[in-house]
Every structure is written in C-alpha cells, then in structure tokens.
C-alpha cells in the first residue's frame, strides 16, 4: 500500500492522505476546490469543482491512473441550487468515461466550500506495477 499527499495543510492538520493506492484500487479522499499552493478558494461553485478536479487529477497521476479509470465518484454539494451549474463541469471531466456516481447535499466543514468530490479508480494492470511501490 502507498499513500499520496498533496502537502495541503488540511492533510497535515487532520491526519489523512490525499489518496491511498492498494493492489487494485486508488482511493482519493474528499477533495475540495482549494488551490493547495496558495490555500485560496473561489466563491464560484463551478470554479471550485474545476479546481477540485485538478487536485484529483494530480493525485490520480501520482498513482498512475486517470479519470478513465474511475469506477465511483461521490459529490458532496453544500447547496442543491448549485447542482445545475456543476453538472457541465462533471460532464467535462467524466463524460467520456462515466463512473458510477452519487450526489449528496451536505453541510461541509468550511462555509467557503461549496463542493467536495471523492473518487475511486481501478488500477488497469496492478501486476505491471509490482515491485515499483
């Protein structure tokens, strides 16, 4: 098993990994629209979703998988009224290879956060990576 960090302050403060890679799957933690380099976040839900997908893409790349390998996505949305504005962003990133999906309306930990996205990817050929982790 291998753990991947984005070095965000959240991971260090709370004690979790951005992603965990096992033999068959990559589990990416709930990921928000914070730009982890500047620790800033847009007020716009669609911009937050774009940034969350960029953050997820980096974690997936570090695990040597991509959006095409996703088998599950869960969206946690703070305000149901934002859902319609978010769907084009979801489609942009996942439309070519749609995973199983769930969208939940939830009170998120920080009032600035409008969306949090959690994904699971299946490693296409785990044996290919044997001995490299």
The residue written with tokens 């296409």 in the block is: 124
Position 133 confidence tier, pLDDT thresholds 50, 70, 90:
very low
- How does pLDDT run across 36-86, given as a tens digit for each residue? 889 899 999 999 999 999 999 999 999 999 999 999 999 999 999 999 999
Query: How high is the pLDDT of residue 122?
Result: 98
* Mean of pLDDT values over 27-35: 96
Q: Residue 15 region, left (φ>0) first, then alpha (ψ -120 to 50), else beta?
A: left
Distance of CA 36 to the CA centre of its chain: 13
Q: Residue 20 region, left (φ>0) first, then alpha (ψ -120 to 50), else beta?
A: beta
Question: So what's the architecture of 2-129 in CATH?
Answer: 2-Layer Sandwich (3.30)
Provide the token pair at 101.
């999906």
- How does pLDDT run across 77-104, given as a tens digit for each residue? 999 999 999 999 999 999 999 999 999 9
> The pTM is what?
0.90
């Amino acid at each position: 098993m291998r753990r991947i960090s984005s070095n965000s302050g959240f991971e260090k403060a709370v004690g979790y990994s951005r992603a965990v890679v096992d033999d068959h799957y990559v589990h990416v933690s709930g990921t928000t629209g914070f730009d982890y380099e500047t620790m800033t976040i847009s007020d716009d839900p669609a911009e937050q979703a774009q940034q969350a997908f960029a953050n997820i893409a980096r974690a997936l790349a570090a695990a040597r998988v991509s959006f095409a390998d996703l088998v599950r996505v869960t969206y946690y949305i703070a305000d149901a009224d934002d859902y319609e504005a978010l769907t084009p962003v979801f489609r942009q990133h996942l439309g070519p290879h749609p995973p199983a999906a769930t969208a939940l309306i939830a009170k998120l930990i920080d009032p600035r956060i409008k969306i949090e996205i959690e994904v699971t990817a299946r490693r296409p050929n785990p044996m290919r990576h044997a001995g490299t982790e």
